[in-house]
Amino acid sequence: TKFSHVIIRRPGKSLCNGITSAPELGQPIYERAIEEHYDYEHALEQCGVDVTVLPALEEYPDSCFVEDPAVITRCGAIITNPGADSRNGEKNEIEPVVRRFFDDEHVKHIVSPGTLDGGDVMMVGDHFYVGRSARTNEEGIRQFIEILEGWGLEGSEVPLEEVLHLKTGVNYIEDNNMLVSGEFIDKPDFAKYNKIVVPEDEAYGANCIWVNGTVIVAEGYPTVLKAVQDLGYKTLVVDTSEYRKVDGGLSCLSLRF
């Protein structure tokens, strides 16, 4: 795998009204969120990808989490049908951007009653694990796997019990290495990988991203950082404190392809 493009979208001031399961963390501070977003952009640039930066969309508080309304594979793009009502329209905003990179034949859609959030999709080579969550339903997964198979790729369902999205708790960093936390530590689906077990108090840190040999790790998760470095990866650390307040992390903030 090698990525050449990344798409990100600046957060709007409405980010403070993003969906959250952790109101006790407080609302994101816009000024800090923007600074962290610049840091994230610069980290990506250091990984040798071309970064497309989209403008903020105030009408969609969670729209900086571009990973959810689309999934981009090496064979084509899938515009999803996001499972949260307040986010569903983001699919119409991301589609024209995705079409800059893919022609008609290579852009497919998840349609109602199927729902799917890209945060539930984890790519491991040509296999895609899809979390069945509050956002992604059985029909969405069925359509998704059908599209993949049409391209010679494959997918499998992973039922989720605790986390919002699949990649909230498990992330593949290539070379057979997988960061696992909580409910994913013992899932049989991931038994064949070299699992790096993330301790409960650093669970949020499991959401790392691999970009062309470098692993970007969230700031404040020393056990995760050391484990990734011990595997021989080059690492970059980015603070995502404001995104964490609305359940977002490193992977949700970009589309990498």
Q: Which residues are catalytic?
A: 165, 252
C-beta of 230: minimal distance to ligand CIR in Å? 26
Q: Per rule CB under 6 A, is residue 25 in the interface with ligand CIR?
A: no
68 contributes a contact to ligand CIR by CB under 6 A = yes
Contact region with ligand CIR (CB under 6 A), list: 51-59, 162-170, 218-226, 230-238 = 162-170
Residue 236 structure tokens: 């970059």
The answer to whether residue 203 forms part of the interface with ligand CIR (CB under 6 A) is no
Query: CB of 1 within 8 A of CB of 125?
Result: yes
CA-based torsion, 103, 49, 127, 98: positive or negative? negative
Choose which of 5, 13, 17, 19 interacts with ligand CIR (CB under 6 A).
19
Cβ 16 to ligand CIR shortest distance, Å: 11
Nearest alpha-carbon partner for 120 in 75, 149, 95, 156: 156
For ligand CIR, give the closer residue by CB, 65 or 233: 65
Region of 145 (left: φ > 0; alpha: ψ -120 to 50; beta: rest) is alpha
**Applying CB under 6 A, which of residues 252, 254, 255, 256 lies at the interface with ligand CIR?**
252
CA–CA separation, 82 and 88 (whole Å): 5
Query: Binding string, 75-114, against ligand CIR, x = CB under 6 A?
Result: ---------x--x---------------------------
Residue 90: name the closest of 70, 113, 119 by CA: 70
Binding segment for ligand CIR among 14-22, 153-161, 193-201, 215-223 (CB under 6 A)? Answer: 14-22
Residue 84: other Cβ atoms inside 10 A: 15
Q: Residue of minimal CB distance from ligand CIR?
A: 119
Residue 239 CA neighbour count, 13 Å, CB half: 9
Secondary structure of 149-208 in HEC code, one letter for each residue: HHCCCEEEEEECCCCCCHHHHEEECCCCEEEECHHHCCCHHHCCCEEEECCHHHHHHHCC
Q: Which is nearer to ligand CIR, 108 or 245 (CB)?
A: 245
**Where along the sequence are the contacts to ligand CIR (CB under 6 A)?**
18-20, 62, 65, 67-68, 84, 87, 119, 165, 167-168, 246-248, 252
